[in-house]
Structure 1
Amino acid sequence: MKTTTWKTASVEKPNKPDRVENAERVRVSAQASGKQAWRRWGPYLSERQWGTVREDYSPRGKAWEYFTHDQARSRAYRWGEDGIAGFSDEKQRLCLSLALWNGQDPILKERLFGLTNSEGNHGEDVKELYYYLDAAPSHAYLKMLYKYPQRAFPYADLVEENHRRGRDQPEYELLDTGIFDENRYFDVFVEYAKADVDDILMRITVFNRGNRDAPLYLLPQLCFRNTWAWGQDPIRPTLSATERGCIAIHHEKLGDYHCYLDGGPELLFCNNDTHVKPLREMEATGYFKDAFHDYVINGDHTAINPRQNGTKAAGLYHFDVPALDQVQVRVRLKKGRDQRPFDRFDAIFKLRTEETDAFYADLQKSLPDDEARLIQRQAFAGMIWSKQFYYYDIPQWLDGDPGQSAPPEERRHGRNSDWRHLNNADIISMPDKWEYPWYAVWDLAFHCITLAMVDPDFAKRQLLLMTRVWYMHPNGQIPAYEWGFDDVNPPVHAWAVWEVYRTERETTGKGDLDFLERELHKLILNFTWWVNRKDADGNSIFQGGFLGLDNIGVFDRSSPLPTGGHINQADGTSWMAMYCLNLMRIALELAQTNHTYEDIATKFFEHFLYIAAAMNNIGDQGIGLWDEEDQFYYDVLRFPDGKLKPMKIRSMVGLIPLFAVEILEPELINRLPDFKRRLKWFLNYRPDLAALVSHWEEPGRGNRRLLSLLRGHRMKCLLRRMLDETEFLSDYGVRSLSRAHQDAPYIFDFMNNSLSVSYRPGESDSNAFGGNSNWRGPIWFPVNYLLIVSLRRFATFYGDEFKIECPTGSGEYLSIDKVADELAMRLTRLFRRDEQGRRAIFGDNTKLQDDPHFRDHLLFHEYFHGDNGRGIGASHQTGWTGLVASLLGS
């Protein structure tokens, strides 16, 4: 097959790698020690900067309407940049990305398109096909795929059809439009390789999958993030043409770089500034952000700067890509100059891909098969590609910039107005860089579990970041996410800190006690905030609020209740019990080298027991969160007059008590005499609370103690429900709502209104939270993962003799550890091929299931259909669905 490519006449030199198998791990170690800044450059561009809170200066916080996709072509961003296959330095001063045009589209494809909350029948949704295929944690090698149609992109069709469909219908996706029929599309592979920390190679390989030759314009483009238009820093950096196919780059802080474009394409220049004419129909002179669109599509030669300088530049390549053939473009961005930039270009790529293969071969040597290795490697790739430079300075955002008009007065008392201390400008792991291009603190905790497997230093830094003084509120609250930093997410940060610490210790043989200690001090402040703010009655029963479970109940738990009063939450209280045990475990680890922490461990041990006791009885009405008749945990509604009403919805809320579990091993207790003495005194002094601690004397070891909200009987009752395939247990994991509510919805009557919750295995039928999230039946990875982790903890205490029927009614009894194995197997089954070669995540889409150019490219969805496992919600939320990486070897 003939390959069309741009190349210089130079001769490739053979590469002679020394110890390929260790190279990537050496880079990760060098970054962690501060010796080499391999993460200085990375895939840090957002996939959507428009429609974010950061760019919203509207009076009432209408972010989606204030800054639209159509405006993004012409309007400069204030707080960040977006782009396809974007790459930048760690402060996002200089950005490299890809633009494309197929000769048919009405606009130059510079960013990914999707629907806003009001446009989609299930909320916002990216309407593009792209995949993150490979990545080294140092970013020394990265690979992604963008599928670009050869016919006009169906922008209007996607908007109109999704608007026409109701919430009872599925989303209308790009594949549904027929745009990929007859394989009339390009597979655009974008790869990056680093020759050194400031020497980045970009290779774009385009395959024409159709049977006809097709035109394609490729524009590798550079831009400086606009830092000069806001009155804070008036100095403009510069991009300018030098010799053929070379762009000289000067930035006062970043330094001098050169970008070499192989084959000497036409160089285009403009400024990354707002063009007011298409936005406000005002005349303007200059060379603006949308110049390449006007030049390539409209043939407007006056749009680009004839002096060939500016703050945005591109190389323009035009191909007629032969049918079933390929073309290739090579770009090199490096500090300083290089007389022969493409001499070893292909050799460097070959070396970096071999090193990445060797890194993963070592990491994956215990995995059972190639299928598991493919799934895990793409999960890691999604995690690494989903890092983003996140910049948001709340005081500047609230008060406005000196170079711009003052923001509307309403914002001073609106969203995030009480977070004036917050000033973020860091690389952060995103849940999804299109649908969620902002950090979410409880998502991040799960991200770090997976990231720690490949780069524990980055994982630790992420967790530390959220508790730094420019993130964490002075009152101790950790910010939730930019749509509402005041919202309350489940307090899983301490759990993640311990898990990341433990992963690094097991991998390297040494735990980072300094990291553990720094986090413990900040988390104690956050725990205190929870106790002071979310325990309304002071009885160790917590209200929490939103807690990330969106529309799981009849009420929006982020808002005041229509009944008045508050909800005593089974999940909020259980999360706090888990928080106590996490902090106790961290303190016990630190106490082994600093006995001061024995006091702190005792404090959290006691607090856990108070919460455990409170869950059984609330006030003087004899109503607890545990319902003995149903043998399940429920939220309890407290009315303003003090009356209590259990809300009997069988949901994930009632399974979360399983998460609070810890074992005190006798060896550990014996190493901490003060803690042992206080433990003994407290259990003697409070026999009522001592009865909540399960224990047994193990010959030769001593007394092991189980700290849990559940004793053996209640745990069996709860597991019986959870493992019932007519209720929670799906072929693909544990549902977030019992399937029993399909035929018997929960109904709450109040003041002539009936509110109901029924089982919905797929997309949401509720407007709550924009209608794009649903906890009423689908399978969510984070809570399923915590169920597995918790069951394994229980298993270490009870051993193989304690068995439970799994599935319920099957007549087959398994140990708790085997139950955890069963859940892990069902979750990984989402991605694995079945006996017919089909993956559950692709549903009934035959192209995704069967086409060789689709079937092995995986998407890591936000959640999954509770009955058939089809992927739903955000399609690139590798963030927490990436947890599958740690389940594949279990």
Structure 2
Amino acid sequence: MNDRQLNQEQLRLHQQRNGEVDWNLWGPYLSERAWGTVREDYSPGGTAWEYFDHDQARSRAYRWNEDGLGGISDEKQHLCFALGLWNGEDPILKERAFGLTGNQGNRGEDVKEYYFYTDATPSHSWLRYLYKYPQAAYPYSRLVEENRHRDRLDPPFNLLDSGVFENNRYWDVSVIYAKAEADQIHIRITIHNHAEQSTLLHLLPQLWFRNDWSWGEEAARPEIKKHDTTATANWSVQATHQELGEYHLYGEQQAELLFTENETNTQKHWGVAPRTPYVKDAFHRVVVDGEQSAVNPQQQGTKFAAWYRLELPAGESRNIDLVLSRQPLAEPFAETERIIAMRRGEADVFYDEMLPEGGPEDHRIMRQALAGMIWGKQFFHFDVYRWLHGDQHQPPDSRKLGRNNQWRHLRAADILSMPDTWEYPWFAAWDLAFHCVALALVDVEFAKQQIEVLLGENYLHPNGQIPAYEWSFSDVNPPVHAWGALKVYRAERIQLGRGDKNYLQRVFHKLLLNYAWWINRKDKHGQNLFEGGFLGLDNISVYDRSRPLPPGYTLKQADATGWMAMFALNMTVMALELAIDEPDYENIAIQCYEQFLAIAKAISGGDEHGPSLWDMEAGFFKDLLITPYGNYHRVDVYSWVGLIPMFATEVVDKRLLENVPRFREMLKVHKKGLFQGSYVCACPDWENDQGEHLLALVDHSMLPRILSRLLNEDEFLSTYGIRSLSKLHEHYRDLGELPGIGHIGIHYAPGESESHLFGGNSNWRGPVWIPTNYALIQAIEKFHRFLGDGFKYEVPALSDESLTLRDIATLISERLVNLYRRDGEERVPALRRDSPFQTEEAWRDLSLFYEYFHAETGQGLGAAHQTGWTGLLANLVMRRYRKDIPVFLGEDESVG
């Protein structure tokens, strides 16, 4: 692919990859929330939500990150830009999103706002954000009180339920960021009044520096000050930072300029006179309280706002134009219209070329899903050692032994792909692996960087553990990082015609450390059967697997063991890929495959450590509880726990086997799956017509039995994908006594869990989750690749129509995408049936990408804006149309 074949957005990515232009210097790195995070929690007991809450955020300086409405920042978050709004009725100036804390109701931590990431290009040359701002007083107290009185059987009380959007009494506040250069950004804020009467809106675009000078780091204090205006600008300010340099912000329309410091109002919080009379909440005090003395009359500080009072007639719109530029500009707005039109057109070309045959609805789904992924790139800043020991004041000694104290080496100041910019403004390790699969569609270089960052010395524990997430880095997430790394490698090979072997080699070496950690730490009895704790889907079980079992009891987990078998195969294939050029990697390929066979033997029960996790009578994998006396009890549950072993599936071809004669011989030694005297897995010596080998826990004889449950609508197959728990459990299923645990049972709940077993916000029983559905589709397509069109299965849900495995993968994939397609009633299943999203013109093309979905209705549940792994919808949409490109198909791109 040469430069002349690249569209303009692809050219920018090419320039970024080659170090020619740093288009990533500025991006959507500013979270919607920084309050209530672990980073900002300095409480003795680790009560993050309460220690630094929403009310404090407007007057208390953050230590680690900043937040704002629809904002951007530079990649080190020195300088930030975002919106401030006031409707004349609210008790506070709106500078950040509001939501409830985790202790304020079931699913209470959802954001209680309506904002949308409507468009984005991966270079951030074009970003578009929309916020719907009510004209009535925002119901802060009512949202808290209503949700406090609701239990897990009640739906959450959201902003639409409050009536503040009735009679269209709201504004659409839209922000466009269009880059003329990597360090010159044209900003257009458009206000549209949907009400039937004229309204007054106070708009305050804000520019400020993250406070890095108040924490004992001896950082020089930056400065923002009024600057001389130009012929075409009504006002301008200059922002100067020791490391970032000098930036200029220009405004085309007249505004009142306000200056203060990004410093804590210590008088308000602790009764101590502040170092300066001009503090963080100054703009609120001026605009809402009329306190003119709150701002600096010298027109300088570290925080700035331009105050616009916009009177908008009914149904009309108004534009406010700004330019942020490193270089001073004589005529900053001369090119604004051209730049905005050009970047919008280039974004259209970029996405149209990705999906040339797609219809308008699928284009919308794909583009908004990817926009959410791009806006989810956030600045994450956390030095655990410094956090534990404090900055200005010595914390109590108990703090040093508190949360994450075993992760003192973790020092983060990076752009990371986060699950959500509000509820989860922190990385989550297994989420990120899925994110990279979606991000690789548009920016494979960034996806590679994301895979590598958690394997770097600032994150990976010296013992090899990958940090899970901020609330507890030591929690155990499914080992999917190698799977994600391999997917990204294959994506680049398809897109560029070559794979980055240096990248693969770097991540492989680091993943060996994590692989060894799993083998040594999570197989405590050395039986090749693994345990996890929080493994993403553990709450489908009949008890909390994060809690220790009684002494002497052991749980043989089908899902943990399945994940590890997948990890072993991922490492095997990586080593084979590297051995093409460097034969020495054959040794480690053999070692990893031997480990896979040992896991396969253990899961099949082919040794003295107990029976198979495969329930021969049921045709399904299930957990086993082993008592201190050696007796075993099968946990009789049909859930993802028993489907995950299917993920341990790889296909290798002659290309991978050409340079590894000992590995080829090893496949013959284990003919028909024979390993240490037992038949343990699919036959590695069996070749298909293309000379390919299938390496898998599940073979062609087991697959139909699993499919019989998977494709039955009375069991796993929902109208909207694969359920987390079989509908067999629809009526409470009494499972009797489980030794060491007590009386157990399980009940299918298609949405929020009705069980209190796993806390106030349990949600793992029966919903549809995109990431595991996606991984399942991947596995089914690998089986199809090996078995071919000759292997068909009669699908119960389709009146026993025979389908190939690829058709079955398509069946599941299309049902997932249908969550966001309009159905026969012209409604989008994922969005509330009684909401304006279904019918009103100003809402109906907008989507909320939920955390998971009701298995019967398809309605989105959990975090409303968590594009995160739900962004895999983009891959599934691409799959429908781009059958010419394997990375979009989702099948095993490593072969052929």
TM-score by length of 2: 0.94
2:537 equivalent in structure 1:
549
The answer to whether the 8 A contact 2:688-2:786 is kept is no
Matched, 1:47 2:38: no
Task: Look up the match of 2:787.
Answer: 798
Is 2:722 the partner of 1:737? no
Segment drifting more, 36-45 vs 623-632: 623-632
Matched, 1:265 2:258: no
Contact 1:167 1:765 in 2 (8 A): yes
Contact 2:117/2:368, CA 8 A, preserved across alignment: yes
Instruction: Give the one of 865, 870, 891 matched to 1:881.
Output: 870
Among residues 249, 252, 259, which one is paired with 2:239 in the alignment?
Answer: 249
Matches within 5 A, 1:754-769: 754-767=743-756
Change (3 A) 1:755 1:411: farther
**Structure 2 alignment gaps of length 5 or more:** 230-234, 880-896
1:98 partnered with 2:86? no
Q: What's the secondary structure of 1:165's corresponding residue?
A: coil
The residue aligned with 2:824 is: 835
1:137 corresponds to which of 110, 122, 134? 122
CA change 1:435–1:769 in 2 (3 A) is farther
Equivalent residues of 2:35, 2:54 under 8 A apart: yes
* Change in 2 beyond 3 A, CA 1:534/1:154: same
Q: Which residue of 1 aligns with 2:815?
A: 826
Q: 1:668 aligns with which of 656, 664, 667?
A: 656
Alignment partner, residue 884 of structure 2: none
**1:692-841 alignment runs, 5 A limit:** 692-694=681-683, 701-702=690-691, 704-747=692-735, 749=737, 754-767=743-756, 771-808=760-797, 810-841=799-830
> Secondary structure in 1 aligned to 2:164?
coil
1:571 paired residue number: 559
Amino acid at match of 1:81: E
Give the match's secondary structure for 1:327.
strand
Given residue 444 of structure 2, which amino acid in structure 1 is its aligned partner? P
Give 1:681 shift: 4.3
Q: Does 1:162 align with 2:147?
A: yes
**Distance in 1, Cα, partners of 2:487 & 2:201:** 48
Q: 1:123: Cα distance to partner? A: 3.7
Amino acid in structure 2 at the alignment position of 1:589: E
Determine the C-alpha separation between the residues in 2 that align with 1:85 and 1:313: 17
Query: Which SS does the other structure have where 1:680 is aligned?
Result: helix
Q: CA deviation at 1:417?
A: 0.2
Cα contact 1:667–1:701 (8 A) shared by 2: no
Partner-residue secondary structure (3-state), 2:701? helix
CA distance in 1, matches of 2:6, 2:505: 34
Q: Which residue of 2 aligns with 1:24?
A: 9
Q: CA deviation at 1:698?
A: 6.0
CA distance in 2, matches of 1:661, 1:590: 19
Tell me if structure 2 keeps the 8 A contact 1:134–1:378. yes
Deviates more, 1:524-533 or 1:236-245: 236-245
Residues 368-407 of structure 1 mapped to structure 2, 5 A cutoff: 369-401=359-391, 404-407=392-395
Residues 307, 769 of structure 1: CA spacing in aligned structure 2 closer, same or farther, 3 A cutoff? farther
Q: Please give the root-mean-square deviation of Cα atoms over the aligned residues, in Å.
A: 2.0
Could you tell me how far apart the structure 2 residues matched to 1:576 and 1:306 are? 63
| Partner Cα distance (2:815, 2:670) in 1 | 42
Contact 2:752/2:765 (8 A) holds in 1: no
Structure 1 residue corresponding to 2:181, chosen from 196, 215, 221: 196
CA distance in 2, matches of 1:59, 1:126: 26
State the AA in 2 paired with 1:786: A
State the match for 1:14 in structure 2.
none
CA contact (8 A) 1:84 1:110 kept: yes
Instruction: Choose the corresponding residue for 1:857, options 818, 843, 846.
Output: 846
Distance 2:175 2:723 in 1: 37
Alignment partners' CA distance in 2, 1:37 and 1:592: 34
Corresponding residue number in structure 2 for 1:228: 213
Shift of residue 855, structure 1, vs aligned partner: 1.1
Matched residue, 1:15:
none
Contact 1:637 1:644 in 2 (8 A): yes
Counterpart residue identity of residue 185, structure 1:
Y
Name the structure 1 match of 2:885: none
- Which of 308, 315, 322 aligns to 1:324? It is 315
**CA–CA separation in structure 2 for the residues paired with 1:554 and 1:281:** 51
Q: Evaluate the alpha carbon distance shift between residue 74 and residue 405 of structure 1 in structure 2; reply closer, same or farther with a 3 A threshold.
A: same
Could you tell me how far apart the structure 2 residues matched to 1:688 and 1:365 are? 54
Cα displacement (A) at 1:649: 1.5
Which residue is 2:354 aligned to? 363
| CA displacement 1:76-105 (0-9 Å, x = unmatched) | 100000000110000000000001000100
Between the aligned partners of 1:608 and 1:637, the Cα distance in structure 2 is 22
Stretches of structure 1 that go unaligned for 5 or more consecutive residues are 1-17
- What's the secondary structure of 2:583's corresponding residue? coil
Letter in 2 for 1:397: W
**Contact (CA 8 Å) 1:366, 1:889: kept in 2 or not?**
no
Deviations 1:11-46 (A, max 9, x none): xxxxxxx99971110001111111110001000011
* 1:166-315 correspondence runs (5 A): 166-244=151-229, 245-284=235-274, 286-315=277-306
Per the alignment, residue 114 of structure 1 pairs with 99
Q: Deviations over 1:809-828 (max 9, x none)?
A: 82212111110000001000
Cα deviation for residue 667 of structure 1 reads 4.7
SS in 2 for 1:520: helix
CA contact 1:501–1:516 (8 Å) conserved in 2: yes
Provide the secondary structure at the position in 2 that maps to 1:624.
Answer: coil
Give the total of aligned pairs: 869
**Separation in structure 2 between the aligned mates of residue 563 and residue 75 of structure 1, nearest angstrom:** 48
Amino acid corresponding to residue 776 of structure 1 in structure 2: R
* Contact map agreement 2:819 2:858 (CA 8 A) in 1: yes
**CA offsets per residue over residues 789-819 of structure 1, 9 Å max, x none?**
0000000111122122223582212111110
- Residue 674 of structure 1, CA deviation: 3.5
- Quick check: 2:543–2:757 contact (8 Å CA) kept in 1? no
For the residues of structure 1 that align with 2:686 and 2:618, how far apart are their CA atoms? 33
Q: Distance in 1 between matches of 2:663 and 2:169?
A: 69
Q: What amino acid is aligned across from residue 766 of structure 2 in structure 1?
A: G
Give the C-alpha shift of residue 510 in structure 1.
1.1
Percentage of matched positions with identical amino acids? 50
Instruction: Tell me the residue number matched to 1:4.
Output: none
Distance 1:526 1:773, change over 3 A: same
- How big is the shift at 1:555? 2.4
Instruction: Sort the Cα spacing of 1:681 and 1:67 in 2 relative to 1 into closer, same or farther, 3 A.
Output: same
1:432 aligned onto 2:417: no
Displacement of 1:234: 4.1
Partner in structure 1 of residue 612 of structure 2: 624
SS at match of 1:880: helix
Kindly tell me: are residues 563 and 803 of structure 1, through their superposed partners in 2, closer, same or farther at Cα, counting changes over 3 Å? farther
Contact 2:173 2:191 in 1 (8 A): yes
Q: Distance in 2 between matches of 1:370 and 1:201?
A: 28
Structure 1 distance, partners of 2:689, 2:144, is 69
Look up the equivalent residue of 1:275 and give its one-letter code: N
Distance change >3 Å, CA 280–CA 746, structure 1 → 2: farther
Please report how far the alpha carbon of residue 243 of structure 1 lies from its aligned counterpart in structure 2 after TM superposition. 2.5
Alpha carbons of 1:754 and 1:699: their partners in 2 closer, same or farther (altered >3 Å)?
Answer: closer
Shift of residue 429 of structure 1? 0.4
Residue 628 of structure 1, CA deviation: 1.7
Contact 1:201 1:333 in 2 (8 A): yes
1:675 CA drift (Å): 2.4
Aligned-partner residue type, residue 385 of structure 1: W
Q: What is the CA-CA distance between 1:755 and the residue it aligns to? A: 4.2
